[in-house]
A and B are shown apart, each in its own frame.
Chain A
């Protein structure tokens, strides 16, 4: 932590201790996850707080998710139409767009946007709570901050992410339909019937939902953890917010590979 706050001291540290630091971070994050999971029954008593957090991280992210979903779908429609027309297979446009959205782009892009839109605000909010001693004050009042602050945000992330990913996918399909059918003149029936004949509910749609649940949990955990353990300075909050985006992007993409390999 001190290496982050005072970067001039960083070169003096040995690589072994930096490795130990990052291992300690991972371990602390895992223990933090366990304490959040243990606090979930207690936090369900404050279910209204969870609902408020779903509003903040989910419903408030709708605009960016919908806009990005629309444009991603439109770009996919345009690019894949060009590529498929080389092989004379533009009839498969709906299939290719929907499969790539459900299986890959929907969960991943939504998770990256979610980290940028909701993860940062969670980190900054909890970090400022830490910096202004609100978390310590809660402990003084015998309110468990993990149950009242951390767990509701974590739960909200797990619940909101799959819903956001589904909205993203639906808008993506709409965008691809807009470009492929309305603009480039692909046949409407071909677009839908090819899609419905090759997309499977369980293998494609539901696997994507599992993925987005896992990504929501990862992004929310990293955001809450970074906020919770931030150094109580304004610089510390700034670094914690940056680290939230960087770490969650890396972990989401790495986890995506692992989950794809398992869910194939």
Chain B
């Protein structure tokens, strides 16, 4: 009887250990760990291009996480993306002339919404919309711009536009290397 009881306790301990491991994995190593409960308010931003922004991506102010992306929709009339950001109520004091921008953390990291605070005395309320937004920077566009502007040929030369990518291929690596330092600032 005593032995029977001891293995029952052992089995109970094993099951508790297993569920504790599951709970640990599910809450501490997944996106649940970034999920803050508690009251929040929603603000909107219109972007012409959101790049790879995903739901639940962080919203940061001065690099500090203050909320997450709640919804991403396309405005059928204006054909731009409406991103709803849910911001924690602790961060009520965001001036209403702040700007929202989509940045990439690192060269290959996930994208996030960064808020640059303005100087207005009135603060953003639930449902407000950012006046100033900056879309995500497309790596392809940047490389294209470097190719166009960095090449030796004239911009108004129609022949040069076609041959340029071949001419400047050797230079393409250099602007691409400089790019990360540019976007970080």
Chain A positions near chain B (C-beta within 8 angstroms): 48, 51-52, 54-55, 58-59, 62, 89, 91, 98, 102, 159-160, 162-164, 166-167, 169-170, 173, 192, 194-201, 204-206, 209
Contact = CB atoms under 8 A, between A and B. Distances in A.
B22 interface: yes
B134 to A, nearest CB: 22
Nearest to A197: B110
Contacts of A164: 18
Given A54-B14, A89-B108, A163-B14, A170 B21 contact: yes
A170 B30 CA distance: 13
Interface stretch (B3-11, B36-44, B156-164): B3-11
Interface in B48-70: 58
Interface residues of B, number: 28
6 contacts: A55-B14, A98-B29, A169-B21, A201-B32, A205-B25, A205-B29
Nearest to A88: B107
Contacts of B24: 170
Given A51-B11, A159-B15, A196-B33, 12 more contacts: A55-B7, A59-B10, A59-B11, A62-B17, A98-B29, A160-B18, A167-B21, A169-B25, A196-B34, A197-B34, A198-B110, A205-B25
A49 B4 CA distance: 10
A163 B11 contact: no
B18 A163 contact: yes
Given A55-B10, A98-B29, A209 B22 contact: yes
Given A91-B106, A169-B21, A170-B24, A199 B7 contact: no
Contacts of B14: 54-55, 58-59, 62, 160, 163
Contacts of B30: 195-196, 199-201, 204-205
Contacts of B15: 54, 58, 159, 163
Q: Is the interface of B mostly helix, strand, loop or mixed?
A: helix
B29 A199 contact: yes
B123 interface: no
A167 B29 contact: no
Contacts of B108: 89
Contacts of A163: 14-15, 17-19, 21-22
A167 B31 CA distance: 20
Nearest to B18: A163
A55 B14 CA distance: 8
Interface string B78-115: 00000000000000000000000000001011100000
B71 interface: no
B13 interface: yes
A195 B32 CA distance: 11
A125 B108 CA distance: 54
